[in-house]
Amino acid sequence: MIDIEGLPAPDDAPEVGKCVRIERPEPGLVVLVLDPPHRKAVVLDMPLMRDLDLALEELERDGGVRGIVITGKEPLHFAFGADLDALESVTDPRLVERVVDVGHQAFGRLSRMRALTVAAIGGPVPGGACELALACDRIVLANSPKSKIGLPETQLGIIPAWGGAHRLPRRVGIVAGLEAILKGRLFDARRAKKMGLVDRLTEPEFLARIAADVALGRDRSKRASRGWKKWLVDKNPLAAAIVTRQARKTVMAQTRGKYPAVLEMVEIVPRAPRVSMKDAARIEAAIASRVATGPVAKSLIGIFRASEAAKKLGRTPDGKRPRPIEHGAVIGAGVMGGAIASVMAERGVATRLGDLDAATLSRSLAEHQKEIEKKRKRRRLEPHLADAALDRLDGTTAPIAEGGYARAQIVIEAVAERLDVKRAVFGELAKVVAHDALLATNTSSLSVAEIAEGLPHPERVVGLHFFNPVRKMPLVEVVRGPATSDEAVASAAALALALGKTPVIVKDVAGFLVNRVLGPYLDEALRLFDAGVEPEKLDRALLEFGMPMGPLRLLDEVGFDIAKHAAASLFEAYGERMTPCNVLDSFVDTGRLGRKTGKGFYVHDGKSKEPALADDLGARRSSTRLAGMTEAEIAERCVLAMGNEALRCLDEGVVAGKAELDLASVFGTGFAPFRGGLARYLDSIGEQELVRRLKAIGAAPDVKERKGKGRFEVREKRSEVGSGAGS
């Protein structure tokens, strides 16, 4: 039996043998059911791994066993992978090596069983659960939309160290295996079968029977064979070297070398088919001990845990789920409103999109059809689901009183960013929708309280702030106004989750959270540009820090007119420290607004994959006094401008805590995920050092002379840093 003494385990771990149930439904067949009594959801923690190995050890002595099926309590509930709570707490590399050894002992024993072993799986099968299945002779997967299987470990800064890094490429080939591991993809049932990751699909209700038939040879489902590709590609050192070289080049371009786990996988996955499983265990343990105890893994696991916690926001404080939203509406068919309505329709909400302008409405409806047809063509949507998504969106140009909104359980307004317009829209809606229908505003700069003022039942008014582009941006700010009820907040968060988004609940303040912290960051970048920092150097500095794009490039994407309006709103709300730089004024005055007009700091010709810097930027600067700043100094200025404002947000209770701030900063601003978010990054600096750096920036001559220097002020009241963000 595996020795787990001293390894991380839950406090309520059951006695030996209780986590795996042994059933013998017919002669020659044994079914091992993963059913730990101490957990609602099956996690491959140390007690379960011990009991799995113990059960297999017992079966090794039973000469009458011809087939073994490993399954979960229900067809669509197998296991959710390894115990991330335990892994996050481990800082000793030697403990990680022992945990890896536990997995290899148990799965190695499974792979060596004389009887045919079958994994009967369904629902989510990520990480360690997938590795358990890969150790079996055959894999039977429930054909359900809920079934997703793969190895997402690199997205958490760790590696598939229980044999997955070697067994997956052996099964599907080094090219497909490497791509799956680097991207951390979870594959649906059909894709998994097509690529050879699983051997057999069946409907969930038949999973147990089909798995038993396969285990006993009544169903002769064969394991996918690589054929000639196994020798020409998978076991060919030259082919492996080519794959490694190209993958390393791609990974470095995408990550700038900031994510150690993916770089490790680039080196070992292409060699996997030529490595024994004994050597694989040694290799994976050595790598895992390095990456799992490093800061990148801790940061990424923290973000993952925060995103999982956000899924609980779709409930009221007493744990009740709000009624599901089946009928909704969006007023305003512009870029934001049209995209929100499209996502709602695709995700199962019958949606009415209203706009008084017929041309605007037609464009949005056409864009919806284009998006759905693209997914149908790429087989990301089944034909019947694509048809349903098209049918669920309709449009109207009728006034609100005649627009057919009475059945809507939620109406989201995405009209002009003017208080009087939004109040008028909600005033008309209040006359036609039910008294408990949610009225949600997608405003990015106006007060939810002021929008709700004078409306009947203001408790059902909530902010639902999506980010552009709606389909790509994962975050939605759920804005709680002073009168907003817990039920309205939970319903709005539940809708965001149903749309595949991650909600963060924020206080009703100017800029809410994301735009409020992003404003000083972008403005500081503009000030540095204006004072002589070369634009390519400026953007490169923040790319090197870990941002997905430089601040000047981001301003091009946002649009200079929108950025200027947002900066003015923050200045109006917060005063001197938010004094905006005026460098964008001349751009806006001449209609040069960024990507949407083809030119901003960059030239966007629609032909080049990456835009080139404009050649007239030198004339746009007022001085060259800061031309000698280093890239590290540039990044620190911009990031600490953002970070100091984030600490103010924590002080004021704009967001619940550090974990939520980290989640919003990563998902909303693109803050470097490998650093774990703004709060975790500030914690890594430490309070005394942070104060020293802020004072040093505040004392710099260019900062002392300007308006807006207050953004670097060190206040007496400050959210505690240095104790571990997100914990």
Q: Which residues are catalytic?
A: 465
Q: For residues 529 and 526, what is the distance between their CA atoms, to the nearest angstrom?
A: 5
Give 630-633's long-range contacts (Cβ < 8 A, gap of 24+): 631/537, 631/540, 631/541, 631/544, 632/541
**Which residues are CB-neighbours of 79 under 8 A, at least 6 positions away?**
34, 42, 43, 44, 72, 125, 128, 129, 132
Angle, to 10 degrees, between the axis of helix 93-111 and the axis of helix 277-291? 150
**SS3 state at 656:** coil
Closest CA to 105 of 21, 67, 49: 49
Instruction: Say which residue the tokens 């505690």 belong to.
Output: 720
Q: For residues 151 and 130, what is the distance between their CA atoms, to the nearest angstrom?
A: 7
Q: For residues 174 and 229, what is the distance between their CA atoms, to the nearest angstrom?
A: 10
Residue 563 corresponds to which tokens in the numbers above?
Answer: 């950025």
Q: For residues 423 and 496, what is the distance between their CA atoms, to the nearest angstrom?
A: 23
By CB atoms closer than 10 A (0-12, 13-18, 19+), residue 220 is: exposed
Taking a C-beta distance cutoff of 8 angstroms, is the pair 59, 116 a contact? no
Strand partners, 462: 440
Q: For residues 275 and 2, what is the distance between their CA atoms, to the nearest angstrom?
A: 25
Phi first, then psi, for residue 723 (nearest 5°) are: -110, 10
Residue 268 corresponds to which tokens in the numbers above?
Answer: 């070992």
Q: For residues 177 and 204, what is the distance between their CA atoms, to the nearest angstrom?
A: 26
